[in-house]
Chain A
Amino acid sequence: MVEVTAIDRDTLDIFERTARGVLAQPDVVVGNALEEIGWRDFLAADAASVVPLVFGILGELVLASSALDDVAFDALGARGEELRATGHGFAHPLGVRDAGSLSGAGLAVDAVLLGAGRDAPVALVAATDGGACVFTVAARSAGLEVAPLDGIDPALGLARVRGLVPTGDVTVHDDAGAPAVRPACRRALAHELLGATDAMLTMATEYAKVRRQFGQPIGAFQAVKHRLADVYVARQAAAAVLDESWRSDPACTTVAAKALAAHAGAVASENCLQVLGAIGFTLEHRLHRYVRRVRVLDRLYGSARDLRTELGRLLQAQGRVPRPGRG
């Protein structure tokens, strides 16, 4: 892997244009396209610059990929790189808790796989008595069931992975920085949610400018303006916190950022559907793809509702509210 440490503005601009170009192609295979532009090298060099770009575009274009696996492996450093290179899929949790937990009975797993097929080995972060650790489970391991799922968003091509794996079939990698995975993935998902929010806001805004009722564009009505302004405010609020989450203590800010980004996605889903009206409710319009996508992105690594509870408990434990960022 090429070791790059800082990416200058010009290189980043070129990267963004290239990424947009390849990802906007019809029937793009996202994994190949990202490979083509050297995404993983850029990720290793400067996650803070390229994760917002790439996940923003993935959200905007409502693309399915396993780029989140790359983010998880990147957060694990050298061990993550090794696991990725040896063909592991990454099992992502569906809630605020880890994807698995270790007990005397074995490793209990309940998570989703984004890309890897059912025959690949799986890496995941699981809770143990001594804190979170990275585990791997061999391909076709007894007790681990991998089942493709459609869910609300079949375009994602997810698989549910669950079961109880005997201790003998799991390997623990306690050298890897397991606690870094969750904040990194939450940040990436928040950027994807904001990308999807922006796409919905743009389509509803453009429609409100041209759709005429009562002799004027519906965007001239204050009730419509306010709905779309509310979407904009929600995305700006999430963006302010998400931006700060790359600089401040991630424990609090990534939870806050993902909760706010999922909220922005929900406000956009509701308000943009309302502005688009009946056409937006049909499968002929692409809005439904975004409405579905933000529901699933909300679930991964904890829904907005569960994240709020987690954040509230964190504040209670600290006894004071954190004040990240300065004037």
Chain B
Amino acid sequence: MNVKDSTMTAASTAPVVSVQRASCTLGGRKVLDDVSLDVMRGQVVVLIGPSGAGKTTLLRSLNHLEPVDSGEILIDGVPIGHRDATSKKKVGTSELARRRREIGFVFQHFNLFPHMTAAENVWNGPVRVLGTPKDKARQDALALLERVGLADKADSRPSQLSGGQQQRVAIARALAMRPKVMLFDEPTSALDVEMVGEVLAVMRELAQNHMTMIVVTHEMRFAREVADRIVVMDAGRIIEDAPPHQLFGHPQHERTKAFLSTIA
């Protein structure tokens, strides 16, 4: 699969995602408070923390769905919201669109396009944005659907699919753009318990193939087994950042201990 090649060949040591002193205020509340975070190529980072800690805001700020008030967010060295690293000029809508191609986003509520079939949902992006010929894009889409285990659902509408199936189509849709990084915003929170596993399995496979991923989730087993790093947020700040065995074994911060005990 091509998606895996593009992530494996690059041997650069520069971070794919670099958040530098980002702050963001929403509705008078500081949801991001001087956050800095670097994610290297191929890394899987899981964001955890109590609700309202700013995990989702941080994730959304990475592709400018939630612009930050101060600080800088670099995707592969390019600032997402500004023209270049030195200027404070805001980027135009078409340039922003171009930069967003690099970033795959998977939503809690899937947000599939209801007027398209599963396959159309997947090839729509490459055709409309990248200008990929339809035949090629359709073939790729079918391959991607097969990768997420839904080859037989290519012609189904989102309304005919279960939640878990919809989310897997959404992952395929994001992958079709060959992103440098995949962001997952609580991808299993809206699912019935029996469908969580099938979505996590797809994400596990991506991680094994060295996709760079940032995942907001409450699935601690997934975090423990798949993540390279676990980042704990609380009240808009990153309070701890460690490999899973260390974080779950010897949490340093009191708040981390408190949070882990509530979900254990």
**A and B: interacting chains:** no
Residues of B bordering A, CB below 8 Å: none
